[in-house]
Structure 1
Amino acid sequence: MQVTETLNEGLKRSYEITVTADELDEKVNEKLAEAQPEIEMKGFRKGKVPMALLKKQFGERLLGEAVQESVDKAMSDHFEETGDRPAMQPEVKMKGEDWKAGDDVQVELTYEALPEVPEVDLSSISLERMVVKADDAAVDEALKNLAENTQDFEDREEGAEAQDGDQVVIDFTGKLDGEPFEGGAAEDYPLTLGSGSFIPGFEEQLKGVKAGDETEVRVTFPEDYGAAHLAGKEVVFDVTVKAVKAPKPAEIDDELAKKYGAEDLDALKGQIRERLEAEYNGAARQVAKRRLLDKLDEMVDFPLPPGLVEAEAKQIAHQLWHEENPEVQGHDHPEIEPTEEHVKLAERRVKLGLLLAELGQRAEVEVTDSEMTQAVMQQARQYPGQERQFFEFVQQNPQMQQQLRAPIFEDKVVDYVFELAEVTETEVSKDELEKAVEALEDE
């Protein structure tokens, strides 16, 4: 077997691998000799089938296996010898369209090697990390929102008309072609106007009704309605309004606290303060992370694999195009060419991705099984009722596993760098933190 370098330009590599016909023949004979003791054939005892007959019967199929195994081994030995790590899947092409058994096999191996990432003195990095304390005003605002979300309803004065946001207590009977239909009736049903919980058009027709009113509501069921006999059909509801109630925020007291699982109001305030500060810390970490990545981007420079940059730029351009054209769900659209801005962003992402991967490898950072399980469970919540199928999909899909593992690995490497860097905590206001977060989104 012979490996000859044909290209070494920057990170681009190309090699010609030659496997001689004699080497392939020897490998086929080895495979046949290994299998011979277990082979049975008519007219011969088990293990006594002549090699010549075995070769005639199975040689062609085993020759294909021998070629694949020989090329795979040559590639494996090459990467082990050179220390090269391909940036993407290597391209392997067999040379000679008229190849036949008995000929040497020539294969062209082409790839881009990952660059050498220089050492970085992480202790020389200085960062400021924002710290925001949840003040009483923020806690009170959160309590007010909780009270509004836990609102009750109280009867409006007699003769008052129902407004958007009011609750109307109604009896109703739905009729299709003059006949009541199954599931179309209820008594003492509390309906909040504007909630969108009923068929489109139903709630709007109840605005302005008063307690004691009897009215008809005409609506058309959507074409995609679940009950086929009602889909697209116009129906009439006979509605009796029994009460009109105005929304009333819950009182901010111990009873409200108990509704949210707290012992009393002070305990609920403590929980809210902790939750707010956890949110602030998460936002502050994102700001600090961006500043860290900016510093690393400035500190380090090394050649980037052109193929990786090109693929990343195309992905960025494609993603941004879909964000600007949300009505296009699939990929049936013209080819999207990356701009200079897309390429610049791709270069930053590829550089930082390779740098963080190298830092993580040197520090032996690993994503644990429990961290992966937690990530899968969190993702599975987006598919209620299909969690099991999602778990099975992830188990059978290495690419999906990598998509879930990558952000966990990156965050662990970032935490590792934070530990070695000089990080100064600075207490700031909530507004200052919000401005810093908005600045990230504008970049």
Structure 2
Amino acid sequence: MPSQFEQKENRVAYLNIELPAEEFKSSLEKAYQRNKRHFQVPGFRKGKAPYQIVVNHYGEGILYDDAIEYAFPAAYENALKEHDLRPYSEPRLNLVSISGTDGLVMEARFALKPEVKLGEYKGIEAYRPKVEVSEEEIDAKIKEAQNKVARQLPVSDRALEKGDTVTIDYMGKKDDVAFEGGTAEDFDLELGSNTFIPGFEDGIVGKNVGDEFDLTLSFPEEYHAEDLAGEEVVFSVVVKAATFTQVPEIDDDFVKDVSETSDTVEEYRAEIRQELEKAGADQADRVYERNIVEQIADNSEIVMSDFLVEDDVEREIQHQIQQFEMYGLRYEDFLAYSGQTLEGVRQQMMPGSRKNLDLAYTLDALDEELALEVTDEEVEAMIVKLAEQSQISVEEYKEKYLEGKEDSRDRLEHQVRSEKLLDLLREWSLATDVEPDHDHAHDHVHDEHCNHDHDHDHVHDENCDHDHDHEEDEE
């Protein structure tokens, strides 16, 4: 099964794959077996017509799609092995010729590993945000701690107030007829949360547990249900129960309940400040690292196929679709509601994807250039660190994530090298508190919720990582 390989511009491989007629015939027969139950040929019961009769009746082309599905994967893998190639993208296929008598000829185009010619990577001057912790931030963290140990108590001897959570039954009627979605029992509602249309929650404030009353209200003119938009309705409401949140006073007793190391409010504020400063410093380092690598990428020559970017964007879109489906929503509906198109979203994502891929492959090139060594002790220290982050023991971590996984050691070593590499880049660079031009710094940064697997994710946007953990091409 001959094939021809040619590398063209921007690291794109072209494979011309030929499948002889005798081999392609078996794929056509498999396609026939898969679909024969659907074929209705005069003189035969449905699904009983022989292969040649079906081909004569419908034409051979009715089997081509499924035959290619059977034939191509093995032919493609064999061609890759023949030329010792590793694709870095999904293949783009062009059908050159196809028939049962002459066989199958297809052209597969795919990305090779990007080529990076590193520029200067020492002495980089890059922006690192200042780390400052305000008293308001400390107050907010203390408020969080208060809320965690707060208690829900019943409202019994006063009128209802904003912030109370009420349990209600309600029925909404328009022209004395209950409307869809306007009735519920034992519904928990926080007053002041603006969950309901204007006036509903305010109408409950001041009432008491056990009260039954009507609220005459109007839906907003822009309400999504056209039959209710701007219409006057009446809600019959029963307040069945109510609770309020009791938060503890901020005193030394409270501190001893929520902190393992502090005994007084003053000590607790100092503890929180230290935690916030560490978190801020870690975040500043991530920003600093990204800015360093951005400049190194700008200093370097990177040749990359558009196929890599297209696949990266498609993975992100599929991830977003899955997230919508988790909540029972349709991505298509979101696009329509927001006035976007799928192709428009793709085009918006392209620059950010390319930017992040540039940074990822720049780091890969630096990793290869420096060839940092990793010791067994460093790998073990990484395991301890990851186990602590997962809040499990080292033994549990090894059993859950490492045992029985062939590439686990390689991935750990890669992670250790990545951290050592970034440590070196920070050491070799000069931090400045002069913030770069906003447009230049963020034009090509992914949305914060992107999700692209790559081992260098800590120099990308906080929630992004890219997957191209491939071996080097053999050329």
TM-score under structure 2 length normalisation: 0.48
Q: Against the structure 1 CA distance between its residues 335 and 184, is the aligned structure 2 distance closer, same or farther, given a 3 Å change threshold?
A: closer
Summarize the Cα distance change of 1:11–1:319 in structure 2 as closer, same or farther, 3 Å threshold: same
Map residues 353-432 of structure 1 onto 2, 5 A cutoff.
353-359=360-366, 415-423=419-427
Using a 3 Å threshold, how does the CA distance of structure 1 residues 271 and 79 change in structure 2: closer, same or farther? farther
> Taking structure 1 as reference, are residues 138 and 113 closer, same or farther at Cα in structure 2, changes over 3 Å only?
closer
Pair 1:12–1:107, CA change in 2 (3 A): same
SS in 2 for 1:302: strand
Change (3 A) 1:92 1:254: same
The answer to whether 1:117 aligns with 2:116 is: yes
2:258 counterpart residue number: 260
**Whole-Å Cα distance in 2 between the matches of residues 171 and 328 of structure 1?**
33
Give CA-to-partner distance per residue, 1:241-268, whole Å, 9 cap, x none.
9x9x9x9874321122134244522553
Q: 1:374 and 1:260, CA in 2 relative to 1: closer, same or farther beyond 3 A?
A: closer
Which residue is 1:304 aligned to?
Answer: 304
Within a 5 Å distance, the mapping from 1:249-288 to structure 2 comes to 250-262=248-260, 264-265=263-264, 268-288=268-288
Structure 1 residues 269 and 77, CA gap change in structure 2 (3 angstroms): same
How far the C-alpha of 1:300 sits from its partner, in A, is 1.0
Query: Against the structure 1 CA distance between its residues 427 and 13, is the aligned structure 2 distance closer, same or farther, given a 3 Å change threshold?
Result: closer
Structure 1 residues 163 and 19, CA gap change in structure 2 (3 angstroms): closer
Aligned-partner SS, 2:334: coil
Select the structure of larger CA radius of gyration. Answer: 1
Could you tell me how far 1:289 is from its partner in structure 2? Answer: 2.9
Note the C-alpha offset of 1:329: 2.0
CA contact (8 A) 1:297 1:348 kept: no
Asked if 1:329 is matched to 2:334, the reply is: yes
Q: 1:96 to 1:371 in 2, by over 3 A?
A: farther
Moved more, 298-307 or 345-354: 345-354
In the TM superposition, residue 301 of structure 1 has moved relative to its aligned partner by 1.3
* Contact 1:205 1:217 survives alignment (8 Å): no
Confirm or deny that 1:77 pairs with 2:76: no
Distance 1:284 1:255 in 2: 35
Aligned residue type for 1:418? L
- Structure 2 matches for 1:147-296, cutoff 5 A? 164-165=162-163, 193-194=191-192, 203-208=201-206, 215-218=211-214, 235-237=236-238, 250-262=248-260, 264-265=263-264, 268-296=268-296
Name the CA distance, whole Å, in 2 between partners of 1:298 and 1:423: 19
Aligned residues: 334
Which residue identity does 1:282 align to in structure 2? D
Deviation by residue 1:122-153 (Cα, 9 ceiling, x = unmatched): 44445464563657775456446755887799
Q: 1:328 to 1:372 in 2, by over 3 A?
A: farther
Deviations 1:23-52 (A, max 9, x none): x69x9xxxxxxxxxxxxxxxxxxxxxxxxx
Distance in 1 of aligned mates of 2:74 and 2:431 = 63
Contact 1:2 1:17 in 2 (8 A): yes
In the superposition, relative to structure 1, how do residues 111 and 269 fare at CA in structure 2: closer, same or farther (>3 Å)? same
- 8 A contact 2:133–2:276 mirrored in 1: yes
| CA positional deviation for 1:88 | 1.3
Residue identity in the other structure for 1:303: V
Cα 1:264–1:297 change in 2 (3 A) is same
Unaligned runs of 5+ in 2: 27-66, 173-183, 217-232, 321-330, 392-411, 446-475
Maintained 8 Å contact 1:132/1:427: no
Distance 1:128 1:138, change over 3 A: same
In structure 2, relative to structure 1, the CA distance for the partners of 1:437 and 1:143 (3 Å cut) is farther
Secondary structure class of the residue paired with 2:303: coil
Gapped regions of structure 1 (runs ≥ 5): 28-62, 177-181, 221-231, 321-325, 378-407
Q: Which amino acid aligns with 1:289?
A: E
The equivalent residue for 1:350 is 357
What is the CA–CA distance in structure 2 between the aligned matches of 1:171 and 1:78, rounded to whole Å? 70
SS of equivalent residue, structure 1 residue 194: coil
Q: Distance in 1 between matches of 2:135 and 2:167?
A: 45
- 2:130–2:284 contact (8 Å) kept in structure 1: yes
8 Å CA contact 1:92–1:109 kept in 2: the answer is: yes
Following superposition, the deviation at residue 295 of structure 1 comes to: 0.9
**Counterpart-to-counterpart distance in 2, 1:71 and 1:300:** 37
Q: Deviations over 1:381-402 (max 9, x none)?
A: xxxxxxxxxxxxxxxxxxxxxx
Contact 2:3 2:79 in 1 (8 A): no
CA distance, structure 2, for counterparts of residue 259 and residue 426 of structure 1? 43
Match of 1:14 in 2: 14
| Distance change >3 Å, CA 21–CA 110, structure 1 → 2 | same
Letter in 1 for 2:79: M
Q: Which amino acid aligns with 2:250?
A: I
State the partner residue of 2:97: 96
Secondary structure in 1 matching 2:107: strand
Find the aligned partners of 1:288 and 1:122 in 2 and give their Cα distance.
14
Give the alignment's Cα RMSD to 1 decimal. 6.3
CA 1:272–1:426 in structure 2 vs 1: closer, same or farther (change >3 Å)? farther
Spell out, residue by residue over 1:375-429, the C-alpha distance to the aligned partner (whole angstroms, 9 max, x if none).
999xxxxxxxxxxxxxxxxxxxxxxxxxxxxxx999877634322224489999x
C-alpha distance 19-312 of structure 1, shift in aligned 2 (>3 A) = closer
